[in-house]
Amino acid sequence: MSNTLNNLFIAIVKKPLLRGKQKPKSSFKKGRGFSLLEIKSAGLTIAEARRLGLPVDSRRRSIHNVNIEKLKQIKVNVN
């Protein structure tokens, strides 16, 4: 698999917001998997995502457009 295709299989999530004396920063990190709502928004079912080997994180409730676009690209590349 190419490096760009490997990057498609990595979900992006926001880091926890650290509050303190400095201004709070919001940044992203690698996630455990794609949320159920991201998978459904991309037009995939949970079973299809697991069959494709995509990591699924059923605990996450957030939706990030970056991840939805990644899932749509994966769907196009598979078909």
Per-residue model confidence as pLDDT tens digits over 12-62:
888 877 777 666 666 888 999 999 999 999 999 999 999 999 999 999 999
Closest CA to 12 of 76, 72, 69, 78: 69
Kindly write down the DSSP assignment for every residue of 17-65, as one continuous string. PP-SSSPP---EEE-SSB-HHHHHHTT--HHHHHHTT--B-TT-----H
pLDDT at 1 over 60: no
**Which tokens hold the place of 50?**
């697991």
The whole-model pTM stands at: 0.79
Q: What is the pLDDT of residue 3?
A: 63
